[in-house]
Chains A and B, each alone.
Chain A
Amino acid sequence: MTLAATGHGFLSPSGVEIAFVLVGIATLGAALLTVTTRQLVHAALWLVVALGGIAVEYLLLTAEFIAWVQVLIYVGSVVVLLLFGLMLTKAPIGRSPDADSGNRWAALTVALAAAAALVWVVVDAFRATWIDLDRAVQGSTEVIGRSLFQYWVLPFEALSVLLLAALVGAIVLSRRTGEGRAAAAALDNGAAPAPAPREEQR
């Protein structure tokens, strides 16, 4: 990156900058639709568009590795998990009357405050910095790997411990107690499951 702002002006944007702004507007629109749509599954699908748009923004900022990780983790796994949960709860086609939250003003306040803080930090940190596209790529896998495992090893390991704790917590929460455990043991042994009382007889 170069600090000099010579030759760069806001009035003569390059193609990459125009693309960046356009993708940003599309991403923002998709994000707004995610929280305002009354159809639950549509919200999850708009989230795909928003997350994908962010991946494209990463690409335009030459952070290729982060972009693909974004697609792999968020679009490929988190949204699939979301959709899985929605389908398990029989998300209806059409509007859900209870898709509205009473917390919307609190949520809007928090969102605006978070956005303001982030924009302020980014503007304050980078001001008139331009990415030099002709020099070595700043966001390549090698550069990120080096900085992650040289300067940021401790936070990295702390995060992995956090994830491990979350995993253990999930296992503890999902273990059944008492009579449920016996039934589960019978299932594991391949025996026929005991006829459970039908909750939903139609």
Chain B
Amino acid sequence: MSDALDIALRLLAVFVVFLVFPLVIGQTEHKVMAHMQGRLGPMYAGGFHGWAQLVADGVKFAQKEDIVPAGADRRIFQLAPAVALLPYLLVLVAVPIGPHNAVGQDLDAGIFFVLAVMGVGVLGSLMAGWASANKFSLLGGLRTAAQLLAYELPMLLAAASVAMAAGTLSLPGILEAFHWWWVPWQIVGGIVFFVAGLAELQRPPFDMPVADSEIIFGAYTEYTGLRFALFLLAEYAGIVVLSALTAVLFLGGWHGPFGADGLGWLWTLVKTVILAFGVIWLRVTYPRLREDQLQKLAWTVLIPLSLAQIALTGVVKVVISS
């Protein structure tokens, strides 16, 4: 019985993280963007720096009418937000937060699981783009698919480099094998992974699929109310997952200069939050890439870099073990 209780508690913890963290990231984005642009952002709701703006937004979304366009494919249109959001919940189950088995579920092929399930999330955008019966949505869906196909490969290769270095595919296993000098050793792979992840999440500067000055809001143009909020939530959940994964794979997760025993979870958290801040920072800093620049970056820069990283990893690994 205690086994079942243990599993239930772990899943509950993962679920709470899934419900809380994306919202915190969303509010942080409001405030950080505002301050970087020399304005204040939401200030009134709730009193202190407008912390309750999120609640107000949620209530607003819930009150709105849920519209399905007359020409749309009803069932797929309604299913799409769930397909976009749920994979990120599943991914969080496999991300370790601290040492001594502080993870939802230790999977033998954790890296594979995480990347595979993250790729499924994009199906939601494709379904939304096609089922909306709107040419802008369809264009957004097409761009999403092209972007996913281009950036999945460098992401996988960069993750494979870390797996090679550690000799295991399990995420806690990789952290067990981590040493501080892995950070400079794998830094190129880390940057490739982070950039490719940004592209997969369709965050600026890789937000061609939702380019609002060209195709309104891409695949999400026809969505209103709660379903639209779910797509936004999926984006923020994606930021959490990407930041946590980059922290775990390339920055040593729970390892830190001190406090390794009690404060491991805090290190993971700090690294994740710093990376998430970086994601927001990039959004306000860089203009959007053009579609051909986007593809060129993936195929001519990121993939060669990740292949070079794999070669470097292999050479160093052989030198160490001999």
Contacts and interface: CB of A to CB of B under 8 A. Distances in A.
Given A68-B109, A83-B145, A76 B130 contact: no
Interface string B154-180: 001000000000001100000000000
Interface in A58-85: 64-65, 68-69, 71-72, 75-77, 79-81, 83-84
Interface string B61-73: 0000000000111
Contacts of A65: 108-109, 112, 169
Interface string B128-169: 011101000010011001101100100010000000000011
A133 B169 CA distance: 22
A76 B145 contact: no
Interface SS of A by simple majority? helix
Contact of B123 (A48, A69, A86, A94): A48
Contacts of A129: none
A72 B123 CA distance: 12
Interface string B82-114: 000000000000000000000000011100110
Contact of B145 (A72, A87, A91): A87
Contacts, number: 87
Contacts of A41: 73, 76, 130-131
A160 interface: no
A86 B141 CA distance: 11
B116 A83 contact: no
Nearest to A93: B73
A69 B76 CA distance: 26
A36 interface: no
B107 A64 contact: yes
Interface in B108-126: 108-109, 112-113, 115-117, 119-120, 122-123, 126
B149 A77 contact: yes
A127 to B, nearest CB: 28
B108 A76 contact: no
Interface string B183-199: 00000000000000000
A77 B108 contact: no
A96 interface: no
Given A68-B113, A71-B116, A83 B108 contact: no
A14 interface: no
Contacts of B107: 64
Given A79-B123, A91-B130, A84 B145 contact: yes
A69 B169 CA distance: 13
A80 B131 contact: no
B222 to A, nearest CB: 12
Given A77-B152, A80-B148, A141-B109, A68 B131 contact: no
Contacts of A75: 116, 119-120, 123
Which of B145, B146, B156 has its CB near the most chain A CB atoms (within 10 A)? B145
B138 A64 contact: no
B108 A93 contact: no
B275 interface: no
6 contacts: A65-B169, A68-B112, A69-B112, A83-B126, A87-B130, A141-B168
Interface of A: 39, 41-42, 45, 48, 64-65, 68-69, 71-72, 75-77, 79-81, 83-84, 86-88, 90-91, 93-94, 137, 140-141
Given A68-B109, A72-B116, 4 more contacts: A41-B73, A45-B127, A84-B149, A87-B129
